[in-house]
Chain A
């Protein structure tokens, strides 16, 4: 049920770009993206909704392929502050209610 994230880890130099992917076997209503720094709670980055609507921080870019149930998070011109673990959350309907389930995360390290 957990969405599959790839890669599991990525190391960048400051200024480089990265793409984190998330895929699900379920028919999704939305995809969420969060970043978590060590010892802290996850922090919201973006929601992508079925139908094309997006809500999130202006500096974050992501896509949602509804046909393939896949989403990608694009991190461009990375900064040291981008380091952390990124989680995608996928929302789908089971029975009478919608579940928001997260992947195992992608650890991003940005070095000077």
Chain B
């Protein structure tokens, strides 16, 4: 069972470089999201998607781009890396179900994380 796969696990970039963090899941989950984790800040939502072709901004979206062309994949792009983007990034996926007028997110399945350092 692969679950949620993130690559790369470690990356060092120079300021201004661009890169893509890959995230793939094999559980046919509609919901996928990216979080960054910094000491003392918890998990902060960057972008999320409730299905192929649909993305939305989280709490800290600036400097990041996402797309969702397939159910399985949800890559995160850093357009021009900055030292402030040094962090551990987690991708997560989940199923959703309708509850009244809301779409409730179920248990999040996290990838192992990607540690990014921007010099």
Q: Is the CB of B102 within 8 A of A44?
A: no
Q: With a CB–CB cut-off of 8 A, which chain A residues contact B43?
A: 42, 87, 89, 102
Q: Contact string, B30-73, partner A, CB cutoff 8 A, digits 1/0?
A: 00010100001111110010100000101100000000000000
Nearest-CB distance from B119 to chain A (Å)? 22
Overall SS of chain B's interface: strand
Nearest-CB distance from B90 to chain A (Å)? 6
Interface residues of A in 31-90 (CB under 8 A from B): 32, 34, 40-44, 47, 49-51, 55, 87, 89
Compute how far the CA of A99 lies from the CA of B72 in the bound complex, rounded to whole angstroms: 20
Q: With a CB–CB cut-off of 8 A, which chain B residues contact A103?
A: 42
Compute how far the CA of A94 lies from the CA of B84 in the bound complex, rounded to whole angstroms: 26
Q: Is the CB of A101 within 8 A of B108?
A: no
Q: With a CB–CB cut-off of 8 A, which chain B residues contact A2?
A: 42, 44, 59
Known A-B contacts A99-B45, A100-B105; A41 and B112 likewise in contact (beta carbons under 8 Å): yes
Compute how far the CA of A61 lies from the CA of B107 in the bound complex, rounded to whole angstroms: 16
Q: Is the CB of A99 within 8 A of B113?
A: no
Q: How large is the interface on B (under 10, 10 to 19, 20 to 34, 35 or more residues)?
A: 20 to 34
Compute how far the CA of A101 lies from the CA of B104 in the bound complex, rounded to whole angstroms: 13
For the complex, is B19 an interface residue (Cβ under 8 Å from A)?
no
Q: Is the CB of B103 within 8 A of A102?
A: no
Q: Is the CB of A29 within 8 A of B104?
A: yes
Compute how far the CA of A102 lies from the CA of B112 in the bound complex, rounded to whole angstroms: 18
Compute how far the CA of A32 lies from the CA of B109 in the bound complex, rounded to whole angstroms: 12
Compute how far the CA of A49 lies from the CA of B107 in the bound complex, rounded to whole angstroms: 12
Given A41-B112, A49-B99, A89-B108, output 9 extra A-B contacts at Cβ < 8 Å.
Answer: A2-B59, A32-B108, A41-B113, A50-B100, A87-B42, A99-B59, A102-B42, A102-B45, A104-B42
